[in-house]
Structure 1
């Protein structure tokens, strides 16, 4: 198997583009070769199977959509309050909106996981680990709210992002920054608040 890390990364990024644009059925080695502008057969030299390519795409998408570690580090020095929780969620929404292709490719992977048990297992593990990490980060950092708060934000933000990226006309005229702030505020509100 070929070992050039830069070429492998370029092929995975090309696969993300193809997946977002063409769906899982359009994600072929040839389509990746064309998207990456490399000789025919290059992708198949780097990935032994489509399943391996799907796995690599899933890992890369999560890297692309994740927060910049320096931003997280800087945020750790701020008061862990409602305003910071809102800032985190608005940052998440902004990152994903800027990498629309990455998020749409992730949704295509989710759909393909319905048909591919191996992909379902891998994707479930990756997303579950990320959610567990996010819950741990939230609780350990002292941000307001509990485990349930993080789960509600996870679900609400995913729905908002899917709506915004797939059918933007549905939310036309909605101030998404304000909406995210309202979501966070309501999710962390205590019954006594």
Structure 2
């Protein structure tokens, strides 16, 4: 398999866009090559098969949605509180909105995983590891709440993203920012250093 990291990243970005715009059935090596603007046969030189391409694209979604170093530094320097959790969730919402295709590709990948046990096993491991990492950061960082707080907030945010990105009219006049604020207020305990949310 080829090892040019820039080319691999370009192919994974193209795979994510194909997944988001054409669905899992549209994800072929040819479609990825075309989307990436590379010669035919390039993707097959980097990925052994379609399942590997799907899984690596799923992992790359998390890379694309990673917070900026600047935001991370500011976030970690601040006092852990419910307000900081709210700011973190607002930042996550901004990243998902800015890279809509990444999250839509992840939804497509989840559907594909439901049909293919091997993909399901790997995707489950990836998403579970990410969730557990978030739980660890929350608890070790001294943020209010427990493991259940993080899991509940994860489920609430996931539901919000699905509606906001696919059927935003379902939410009516409730904007996603106000919904994030409300979810954090309901789910995350206030804690001694957390100001009241707006």
Name the TM-score, length of structure 1 as normaliser: 0.94
Distance 2:122 2:81 in 1: 34
Match of residue 79 from structure 1: 79
Instruction: Compute the RMSD of aligned alpha carbons.
Output: 1.2
Distance 2:12 2:101 in 1: 13
Distance 1:32 1:59 in 2: 16
Runs of 4 or more consecutive aligned structure 1 residues displaced over 6 Å after TM superposition: none
Match of residue 32 from structure 1: 32
Structure 1 residue 172, shift from structure 2 partner: 3.5
Q: Secondary structure at the match of 2:145?
A: coil
Structure 1 residue 105, shift from structure 2 partner: 0.1
Match of residue 118 from structure 1: 118
Structure 1 residue 81, shift from structure 2 partner: 1.1
Distance 1:32 1:175 in 2: 35
Match of residue 193 from structure 2: none
Distance 2:42 2:137 in 1: 40
What are the ranges of 5 or more consecutive residues in structure 2 without an aligned counterpart?
191-198
Distance 1:69 1:128 in 2: 23
Match of residue 99 from structure 2: 99
Structure 1 residue 126, shift from structure 2 partner: 0.5
What are the ranges of 5 or more consecutive residues in structure 1 without an aligned counterpart?
none
Distance 1:50 1:44 in 2: 9
Structure 1 residue 67, shift from structure 2 partner: 1.9
Range moving further from structure 2, 124-133 or 59-68: 59-68
Q: For each residue in 1:140-183, what CA deviation from the matched residue of structure 2 results, as whole angstroms up to 9, or x when unmatched?
A: 11111111111110000000010000001112421221211110
Match of residue 185 from structure 1: 185
Match of residue 52 from structure 1: 52
Distance 1:153 1:69 in 2: 23
The correspondence of residues 113-192 of structure 1 with structure 2, limited to 5 A, is 113-189=113-189
Distance 1:186 1:71 in 2: 24
Distance 2:164 2:89 in 1: 15
Distance 2:186 2:57 in 1: 34
Distance 1:129 1:73 in 2: 22
